[in-house]
Amino acid sequence: MNSKTETVIEVSALVKTYGNVKAVNQISFDVIRGEVFGMLGPNGAGKTTTVEIIEGLRTADSGTVKVLGMDVSKQTRAIKERIGVQSQDPALFPTLKVDEIVNFFRSLYKKSIPASKVIELVALQESRNVLFNALSGGQQQRLSVALAFINDPDIVFLDEPTTGLDPQARRAMWEVIEAFRGTGKTVFLTTHYMEEAERLCDRVAIMDHGQIIALDSPQRMIEKYIKESAIQFKMTNYPGEEVLTNLTSVTKAIKEEDDIILYTNNIPAAISALLDLASANSSELSELFIRQATLEDVFLKLTGKRIRD
Amino acid sequence: MIAFTTVFTAYFRQFIRDKGALFFTFIFPIIFILLFGWAFRNPGAQTFTVGLVDQGLPQSAAIMTQGLDSVVIDANQKVFEIQTGTMDDLLPLLKKGDLAAIIVIPENMDSAINQGQPINIQVYYDPSQTSNQQILIPILNQVINGINQYLQGTSPLIGMEEKSVQSHNLRYIDYLVPGVLGMSLMFSGVYVGLPIIQQRQARIIKRLGSTPLPRSMLVLGDLALRMILVLLTAALIILVGRLAFDVQMVGNWWELCGIVILGTLVFTSLGYLMAAFVKTEQAAIPILNVITMPMMFLSGTFFEVSSMPSFIEPVVKILPLTYLNDGLRQIMVAGTPSHSMTTDIAIMAGWAVICLAVTIRFFRWD
């Protein structure tokens, strides 16, 4: 980070407890202007609580959060003028038209971008006069994301912005996010899609059990945590993770539903050992392929879970 | 102010797109008025011809005649036309419907009066005639009360004229129109809780929470819309009552607006109170029915509270709609008060304050 970096979100020693559960347990991190900051974690990891505290929707038990230099617990209104939020479910007035919803949100802010630009952003021009409850799930989702940009915010918080979108619409959404970052603004992204995080995020934080267990750029994170390649396959007569981990050259074996993943630095030796095991065990191997490690593997390794609903 | 207008406009648009809400707000009360007004119409039945069997007692007959004559519609029209005769003469006339009632002065009435002893006057009437039950019997009761007071010297005979003036020409439709207005204010008010519950359940309120919009605007915008709607409803109901059944709004329009707004506040706070405790729309619908249905029937919307069985009376006496209906009736058609206006206003205000206090304590936006 050079001298030009400016911290736009500063979280320090944040704690939030629900009953006996520490949803957020002493987390601290900074978000820099102009970056796409990703937050990943299994369900119940504390992501949503953290994000909602930053957005001023919840209050923390202790710790401080500064957004654009302002204290979230004190200057909530001023912060809300300058951030944009897309919540996970596209919850909007069911019997208002797209145009009406856009103008409703525009008039809540001191500063806003023209309605037509908002609608073009997510290609809803042809649905301007359609009631919200008559839109398809994907259209509702797109409108919900567009509204997060309506006040030309300094920071936009996107929570699963591409859930329910077809691949084409998802790529279009990625372009919107990248264009926004291109103007020097900041994106705080929560997502389940590792591919999305890898493509969009400058840095990602992985959260589990209320704590941040890793924070780095996706590439460095992969290099740091997984030096091996991955062999992924399905097999009958599954012998157990322990047996697979003990195979020659295999550093770790993980079973995720039907998929088994072996991590290794010596692919030929590991495959050879796997084939021997399979024939001795009368196991059938299928859908076997070798790939580079991804963020998904990092996540799996660190949390023991796949990121999924 | 922009935020307020924005919320108000959004709620207004949603309201006019909600067919059910439109129906219940505007059509439903009109249907009630037309239906009940037509079913219980009694054209020209503002005067009654009653038979008087005096059994040769001049003193009692004179008192009774004087009492009946004192009940007037206006200076030159009396409510009762008296036809004297024997029971044998009069009874066939009653059965034919020429007489509304026969009043029989007991043989020993003169002596009973002079000795100050209690005595019952017999009244024969046909209870299947609605106008009799609704109007005639209450008036006769007042006449007899008046006579009693006169005889006891506690009140001059002229005193009952005032009392009678208020109920003399109250037809059923005059009674009904304020009741239907009260009922629609109740529905409009209590149902305010539903959109809040729906928006909270659908997380719309949470979504708005991340904008600079103050949440109080959601309440203010909605309340303003309700106020306009109830005033429109009131105007519509009064207009239909007037055009279809010539029901005159005799009171002061400002007083009427005041009581309409107070009534709306009472029932909207009841609606918010419900929203403080009920989390889902699915649960809210039956609860709304439990709140509104008994009130609709027990609070003197369609039938006089006094015609209810006495064991229901304690319930009737705590329901806010009882007092709203009573207040509306006093203002709109100069109906006989069941309670003083002060009582009506005080009890409604009490309801509003209690509901709001509990709501503020327990209401959650998320």
The pLDDT tens digits for B106-148 are 888 777 777 777 778 888 887 766 566 667 777 888 788 777 7
- Considering the domain architecture, whether residues B163 and B28 belong to the same structural domain is answered as no
What distance in Å separates residue B4's CA from the closest CA in chain A?
Answer: 10
> Is A301 domain-assigned?
no
Structural domain containing residue B101: 48-168
CB contact under 8 A, B212 and A77: yes
- Considering the domain architecture, whether residues B7 and B56 belong to the same structural domain is answered as no
Alpha-carbon gap, residue B199 to B366, rounded angstroms: 10
**CATH number, domain with residue B120:** 3.40.1710.10
- Considering the domain architecture, whether residues B29 and B142 belong to the same structural domain is answered as no
Mean pLDDT of A20-35: 93
Mean pLDDT of B198-223: 90
- Considering the domain architecture, whether residues B183 and B120 belong to the same structural domain is answered as no
- Considering the domain architecture, whether residues B157 and B234 belong to the same structural domain is answered as no
- Considering the domain architecture, whether residues B145 and B177 belong to the same structural domain is answered as no
Amino acid at B279: K
CB contact under 8 A, A57 and B14: no
> Is A308 domain-assigned?
no
CB contact under 8 A, A85 and B6: no
- Considering the domain architecture, whether residues A59 and A182 belong to the same structural domain is answered as yes
> Nearest Cα to B183, choosing from B313, B37, B29, B288?
B29
Average pLDDT of chain A to the nearest whole number: 90
- Considering the domain architecture, whether residues A48 and A155 belong to the same structural domain is answered as yes
Chain A neighbors of B204, CB-CB under 8 A:
91-93
CB contact under 8 A, A95 and B17: yes
Mean pLDDT of A194-213: 92
CB contact under 8 A, B3 and A109: no
Alpha-carbon gap, residue A103 to B6, rounded angstroms: 9
Determine how β-strand A21-32 pairs with β-strand A259-264. Answer: unpaired
Work out how many domains chain B is built from and give that number. Answer: 2
> Is A300 domain-assigned?
no
Chain A neighbors of B3, CB-CB under 8 A:
107-108
Chain A neighbors of B211, CB-CB under 8 A:
80, 85, 105, 108-109
> Is A128 domain-assigned?
yes
- Considering the domain architecture, whether residues B215 and B161 belong to the same structural domain is answered as no
- Residues near A52 by beta carbon (within 8 Å), at least 6 away in sequence: A58
DSSP annotation of A253? E
Q: What is the 3-state secondary structure (H, E, C) of B195-217?
A: HHHHHHHCCHHHHHHCCCCCCHH
**B150-190 pLDDT per residue, tens:** 777 765 554 434 333 344 457 888 888 999 999 999 999 99
Alpha-carbon gap, residue A218 to A226, rounded angstroms: 12
**CATH number, domain with residue A26:** 3.40.50.300
CB contact under 8 A, A109 and B17: no
What distance in Å separates residue B7's CA from the closest CA in chain A?
Answer: 8
Q: Give the pLDDT of residue B134.
A: 67
- Considering the domain architecture, whether residues B224 and B163 belong to the same structural domain is answered as no
Q: Is B332 within 8 Å of B256 (Cβ atoms)?
A: yes
- Considering the domain architecture, whether residues A231 and A200 belong to the same structural domain is answered as no
Alpha-carbon gap, residue B311 to B338, rounded angstroms: 18
Q: Is B279 within 8 Å of B199 (Cβ atoms)?
A: no
Alpha-carbon gap, residue B143 to B157, rounded angstroms: 9
Alpha-carbon gap, residue B197 to B193, rounded angstroms: 6
**A68-93 pLDDT per residue, tens:** 999 999 999 999 999 999 988 888 99
| A206 band by pLDDT with thresholds 50, 70 and 90 | very high
CB contact under 8 A, B18 and A95: yes
Residue with tokens 């005889």: B151
Model ipTM value: 0.83
CB contact under 8 A, A91 and B206: yes
> Is A34 domain-assigned?
yes
Alpha-carbon gap, residue A225 to A203, rounded angstroms: 15
End-of-domain residue from the set B146, B168, B190: B168
> Is A299 domain-assigned?
no
**B89-111 pLDDT per residue, tens:** 888 888 887 888 888 888 887 77
> Is A297 domain-assigned?
no
Query: Residues of A near B (CB-CB distance < 8 A)?
Result: 55-57, 77, 80-81, 83, 85, 87, 89, 91-96, 100, 104-105, 107-110, 131, 157
CB contact under 8 A, A56 and B14: no
CB pairs under 8 A between A and B: 59
- Considering the domain architecture, whether residues B181 and B164 belong to the same structural domain is answered as no
CB contact under 8 A, A96 and B3: no
- Considering the domain architecture, whether residues A204 and A278 belong to the same structural domain is answered as no
- Considering the domain architecture, whether residues A171 and A265 belong to the same structural domain is answered as no
> Nearest Cα to A151, choosing from A93, A90, A110?
A110
- Considering the domain architecture, whether residues A166 and A137 belong to the same structural domain is answered as yes
- Considering the domain architecture, whether residues A84 and A15 belong to the same structural domain is answered as yes
> Nearest Cα to B30, choosing from B247, B228, B237, B231?
B237
Q: Give the pLDDT of residue B131.
A: 60
Work out how many domains chain A is built from and give that number. Answer: 2
CB contact under 8 A, A85 and B210: yes
What distance in Å separates residue A107's CA from the closest CA in chain B?
Answer: 7
Chain B neighbors of A96, CB-CB under 8 A:
10, 13-14
**CATH number, domain with residue A283:** 3.30.70.980
- Considering the domain architecture, whether residues A138 and A283 belong to the same structural domain is answered as no
Chain A neighbors of B210, CB-CB under 8 A:
55-57, 80, 83, 85, 87, 157
Q: Give the pLDDT of residue A28.
A: 96
- Considering the domain architecture, whether residues B261 and B225 belong to the same structural domain is answered as yes
- Considering the domain architecture, whether residues A42 and A191 belong to the same structural domain is answered as yes
Least confidently predicted of A114-118, A244-248, B45-49: B45-49
Structural domain containing residue A267: 227-292
DSSP string, B1-26: -HHHHHHHHHHHHHHHT-HHHHIIII
- Considering the domain architecture, whether residues A52 and A151 belong to the same structural domain is answered as yes
> Tokens at residue A222, please?
């992969």
What distance in Å separates residue A225's CA from the closest CA in chain B?
Answer: 36
| φ, ψ of residue B168 in degrees (nearest 5) | -60, -45
CB contact under 8 A, B212 and A105: no
| A309 band by pLDDT with thresholds 50, 70 and 90 | very low
- Considering the domain architecture, whether residues A12 and A44 belong to the same structural domain is answered as yes
Chain B neighbors of A56, CB-CB under 8 A:
210
CB contact under 8 A, A104 and B211: no
- Considering the domain architecture, whether residues A17 and A155 belong to the same structural domain is answered as yes
Mean pLDDT of A239-252: 87
Identify the helix (H) or strand (E) that includes residue A10. Answer: strand A7-18
- By C-alpha distance, the chain A residue nearest B200 is A91
**B289-348 pLDDT per residue, tens:** 999 998 988 888 888 777 777 888 888 889 999 999 999 998 988 777 778 889 999 999
